[in-house]
Structure 1
Amino acid sequence: MPRDGGPPPARLETPFGPMPNSEQERAVEEQYRELLIEAQREDFEDFDQDRLLRRVSTDDLGRPVVMLIGGVLSPDVEELERAFLYVVKTLDGVVDRPYVVVYCHTHVNWLSPSLYSFIQSCHTSLPRKYRKNLTQLYVVHATLTFRTLMNFATAFVSSKFFHKIEYIERLGELSYVTGLPAAQLQRLFPYSIQRYEAELHGVTPLRLFGTPLEVLADHLGVDTDGCSQVPEPIVRLVNALSDLDSLKTRRLFFLQSDSAPLYSVVRELEEGVMLPDMDEVCAVAVAFKLFLNSLPEPLLTFNAFTTLERLKDEHSPYVPREVLSGAVRQLLMDAPPINFGTVKFLLGLLSRVANCARFNEMSIKKLAEVFAPAFFRPADMTPEASDVIQVANEAMAVLLADQRSLLADVEISMRSGEGRETAEGERRHRSRAKERKRETSADARRTRDSEAGVINRDVSAVSVKTEYIETVLSHIDAFRRQLVDYARDLRSLISTGDSLAEFADMTAAQMRQIEEELSRVRFPPAVEERVARHRRPLRDSSVSERVEGGVVTLADGKRVTEADLALSVHGLI
């Protein structure tokens, strides 16, 4: 208090309002320590799976960048309180120095009366370091409601705080904030947000069912359970099937689903909506199988089935188990990294299902029959390929039964350099893809030739060159014929009255020889079609006007064609 008994000095202002006194700060710190202890005891596995809050990168100034996805929360007060504890637990080690927050407001529509008071209580419960060290707040896809709410927040937040807010309309604008490449940045956002932005800007969203695994991983790959770049839809389906009640469902993957709940699950996946806790788990199980079987290429690539075909031929009628085990191990080593990570993640679920076989009656043998097509599938189902299905089922059973040792062997080999390097595996995968594309194109050509009655024959370099030269000469002869026809029709334009031969400085005999030669030429069908398409009837009274344009009268009364006028303007005549 001042000695003259006047009013106390004004409290210092911070960007978030008046600076609290020491007693208030101590009370807030003590309350925060209690919150932190409570948060450490809480299980936040659901928030981890939903990627509610996480540190994603460091910006150019060395500040940690934290991303908060608001759309995964509901306005339920209890869930918001748990989310607040989760924020405390996650950010406690981050906010001791300057940091940046990216808040994604997509699909958030909170108009609950209690929300405003909840945000205010959170603000007053956090120690000063949260406010002081926050250097920038980027808000993605902010709605009018959110901006209005921020205006109301001025009642307890200093106006200086709003200088730290920057609104972001496109996800790509965050590249300079996070320091991440656009492709890697895209994977940080759930599919629902990516789909929302695509529709917002008139772009066709990515389809999930029937899209290649590598495309899904590029756009929606997430790191989970020690597996890298697993497509988000697969993660969501696996999480929906991983609770104990679902795992114990009798005949889980043999059940059939009614169309309505199945369509509901598929629609929610395609729209990026979070899968609800459904009573009809069979709909999720059917959608899970449908998603895997709709991949254009099986999880272990088409090379896996080709390997099994070779083993069947070499060891007919029965392929020994140790041979299958070695082949499966090598297939895992040869699989692209994205495929290997996804396979490892899926095997975790199937292992948990098999462990509950006493309840769900899904033994390893039955699981192998259900999921073998998703891992081992031929490019074309021929009668010969159908004979290998039993071998594929046995290989799948080996993979399920020995997954722990197989995966461990592959990962040890990768780390020690005995397995394939990532780049080499990708190169071989691309090479196989190109080879399959060439084979597909060749098959398509053979089919077209067969339908057209063309007899396939061995083609030599000489025949190819000869055919090429003949085709070129045919085009040249076609051009000569058209040129002669065109020139003959221009005879009326030759002011000297000379014949075409005389005008071309040729004898009449030479001109007749050329015309007879061209009349005998028989062009290939493709050339004939082009000649017919481009040929124009020129023998009519309007040929002069069509060639040289209309006649115009100049200022001096002279009448000239448009072509002559254009040529004279450019100094050509």
Structure 2
Amino acid sequence: MEALTSSAMASSSDLEQLAEIELQKEEEEEHKCVTDAPSAPPISSSGSIPDSSHPYYDVARHGIIQVTGDDNYGRKLIVFSSCCLPPSHQLNHRRLLEYELPQIRYTALPLWSDVTSCLCCRYLKLTLDQYVEMDYILVYFHHGLRSINKPSLKWLREAYGEFDRKYKKNLKALFVVHPTNFIRIVWNIFKPLISHKFGKKLMYVNFLDELRDHLNFEQLSVPPEVLRHDAKLRAAQKGGPRPSARTPPPRPPLPTQQFGVSLQYIREKNRETVIPPVMRQTVSYLKVKGLRTEGLFRRSAQVQLIKDIQKLYNLGKPVNFDDYDDVHVPAVILKTFLRELPEPLLTFRVYSQVQEILNIQSSLRVSRCQQIVESLPEHQFIVVKFLLCFLHMVSQESIFNKMSPSNLACVFGVNLVWPRDGSISLTALTPINIFTELLIEHFHAVFKSRCPPGQETP
């Protein structure tokens, strides 16, 4: 770390040289501890592999980038895993060079690492373009970045410049997991280019458990190599691995509990209504005051405020959203309620059926959506219909709120259905979004009845 301190006064070229030396040291240390040959980049936990016709198949198939739902406060979770970056022999160089890469020009044949990085950059932008209009957070798993798969620092500068303000403005936090001297030196190199405001969004995370303080860890798609590395770091700590804290036995939920309990539990405790109180109150408020709010459901809210409102609901105390003077607050509360259900609103059972929606002829997809939702248990069907009726109403005001069925699907898809393991690969996200978009856009055909504005129960 002394080298890091003295490097603050060093030139950019000196810092780059120091970064290269640190990366080589880290690789040498890792090789000392590993006797087996390095494994291939892991497939995402869902096991879903993109079709070979995907325009960025060479990148997408490695699972480098994952969108894994929302965090606890309504912000999209995007994960970038360095260990999934492939080595050169796994890529078709000629095919890479055939890609059209706007805004990137070369005067000579680029190095493999630069071409790969350009593809990753374009693919990352393609992914972010679906979500940058809403608040999001980025989790960067640094372990696995090696000489064979790292981009040049020169290219990193150019790539940073290519990500314009829209990508940076709504990024609320950047978590760098398992940082090393290399990443800290690189940060020093980039300091002159990065605004103070953006710099405050960076958070170093030394162990995976520390992420639990900031987001829903169970939703993350963590590569096995990163899990093994984390375990190794803990074991190497002075005095051996840290003893895990004893988890107290779970308390039984309160009779008034709303968050983190099943629909059935809420129904049993609130027999006067089929619709959970949180859903009824947030939807009622947003129908009156939020339908024409631009970017509805795209924005997050103050973390502590959301916690306080959740506590009020769980204690059975009244919540008056007029007190907060912000329609994004009930919008986040609604998403949070859906996300914290032990089982998704559309149930685990339909996940595989939703994943198959792309295999169905376009003209038959609406009918298939109808079959899927009609197969739900009665209580689930009623609540789903109630929510989708409202989302359809929101989409009807898209000229004002900019929330088309497609935009709403990007927000709500992962909050309506997810697999039992809790993580969703980027590839698995596409059919989920398409399915949700169909439910919203073709609400009347799917649910076979009208739900007039203001009518809260189907």
TM-score by structure 1 length? 0.32
Task: Give the structure with the larger helix fraction.
Answer: 1
Question: Which structure's CA Rg is the greater one?
Answer: 1
TM-score by structure 2 length? 0.40
